[in-house]
């Protein structure tokens, strides 16, 4: 069995795969394979092990009639043509979302503090040789303690962010179409609010909704206009939840205080206009970039591959219906 991995993953995962087949890996962690490279790789391999930014379209899936599976190290295979894979009875596998809850919540808080205390801006100034006096007003910020944090979506990551908030003097409000049971609200010290009310109340609006047709551009010009001029938008969920051009306008015109962004509407590209704004903190979709976590994620992908190699239904199959058809 021949396996192609689109970018380097944990060595323990690669070693397990080499026990069951021949493994080829793109060795460059900074190079996302092009469509032409993926077509060539799929043509010569039985299993494709891909990462978040790989776009696996119909052409790629059809490049090898003997392709046995697409093993993705993502939670949702948004950039994989799962319809085409299903039509060809090719399993597409993912990883459980719960694996990423803590790491993503940690990063959300890193963005909250970096934005709320202008940490990234101060770092850039210091490296450029601008050192304001330690009590200069130049880098005064709104701060975090005593503010109101608004969570949009309280799934696994949203709950983990709320749990961390209990260690700070903050008011935490949330909006989710499915309101939590009263005992959960009480244990997490959460107060439910309507969507528009949350936007106009929170000092930090942190997004934790799943991407779906209903949530695409959930935050647009209207929603940004409801936010306080001092408020920050934090996004560690998915980029298309925010209308990026509307956000750029709001940030450029200083209609909101700023933004902390780990995800972007047209990844892996980042709009140059965002990069040029001093009131933004930008990271590179690194919510899961914790060494131990990434190793677990890669090994879950291997668990799925091993199952397929042994003729079993993989434990994290996205298109399970292909197995129902077999019976």
User: In this predicted structure, what is the pLDDT of residue 133?
Assistant: 84
**DSSP characters for 162-224?**
HHHHTTSS-EEEEE-SSPPPHHHHHHHTEEE--HHHHHHH-SEEEE-PPP-TTTTTSB-HHHH
Query: What is the CATH number for 25?
Result: 3.40.50.720
Range of the domain at 23: 2-98+290-326
| Residue from 14, 97, 82, 108 nearest 322 by CA | 82
Let me know whether 114 and 171 are in one domain: yes
Q: Which of 267, 294, 295, 313 is labelled catalytic? A: 267
In a shared domain, residues 68 and 150 = no
pLDDT at residue 95, as a whole number: 97
Instruction: Say what the pTM is.
Output: 0.93
Claim to verify: residue 32 and residue 20 sit in the same structural domain: yes
Which pLDDT tens digit goes with each residue over 191-245? Answer: 999 999 999 999 999 999 998 899 999 999 999 999 999 999 999 999 999 999 9
pLDDT tens profile 71-86? 999 999 989 999 999 9
185 counts as catalytic? no
- Is residue 191 within 8 Å of 171, Cβ to Cβ? yes
Known catalytic membership, residue 238: yes
Question: Which of 68, 238, 244, 296 is the catalytic position?
Answer: 238
Cα(122)–Cα(115) distance, rounded to whole angstroms?
A: 11
Same domain, 153 and 256: yes
Q: 61 and 159 share a domain?
A: no
How many domains are contained in the chain?
2
Catalytic residue among 164, 208, 285, 296: 285
178 in the same domain as 165: yes
pLDDT of 5 > 60? The answer is yes
**Same domain, yes or no: 240 and 257:** yes
Whether 327 shows a pLDDT value over 70: the answer reads: no
> SS3 for 242-289, per residue?
ECHHHHHHHHHCCCCCEEEECCCCCCCCCCHHHHCCCCEEECCCCCCC
């Amino acid at each position: 069995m021949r396996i192609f991995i689109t970018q380097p993953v944990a060595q323990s995962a690669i070693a397990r795969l080499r026990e069951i087949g021949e493994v080829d890996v793109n060795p460059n962690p900074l190079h996302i394979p092009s469509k032409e490279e993926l077509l060539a790789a799929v043509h010569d391999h039985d299993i494709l092990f891909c990462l978040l930014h790989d776009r696996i379209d119909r052409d790629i899936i059809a490049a090898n009639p003997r392709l046995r599976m697409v093993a993705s190290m993502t939670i949702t295979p948004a950039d994989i043509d799962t319809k085409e894979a299903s039509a060809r009875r090719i399993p597409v596998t993912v990883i459980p979302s719960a694996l990423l809850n803590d790491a993503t919540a940690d990063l959300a808080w890193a963005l909250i503090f970096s934005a709320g205390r202008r940490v990234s801006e101060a770092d850039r100034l210091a490296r450029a040789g601008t050192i304001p006096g330690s009590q200069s007003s130049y880098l005064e910020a709104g701060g975090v303690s005593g503010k109101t944090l608004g969570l949009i979506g309280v799934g696994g990551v949203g709950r983990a962010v709320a749990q961390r908030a209990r260690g700070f003097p903050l008011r935490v409000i949330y909006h989710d179409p499915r309101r939590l049971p009263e005992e959960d609200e009480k244990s997490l010290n959460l107060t439910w609010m309507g969507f528009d009310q949350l936007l106009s109340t929170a000092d930090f609006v942190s997004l934790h909704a799943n991407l779906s047709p209903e949530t695409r551009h959930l935050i647009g010009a209207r929603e940004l206009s409801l936010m306080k001029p001092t408020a920050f938008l934090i996004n560690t969920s998915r980029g298309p939840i925010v209308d990026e051009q509307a956000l750029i306008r709001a940030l450029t015109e200083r209609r909101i205080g700023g933004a902390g962004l780990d995800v972007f509407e047209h990844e892996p590209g980042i709009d140059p206009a965002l990069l040029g704004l001093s009131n933004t903190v930008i990271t590179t979709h690194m919510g899961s970039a914790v060494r131990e976590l990434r190793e677990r994620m890669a090994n879950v992908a291997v668990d799925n591959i091993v199952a397929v190699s042994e003729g079993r239904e993989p434990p994290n199959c996205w298109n399970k219906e292909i197995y129902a058809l077999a019976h």
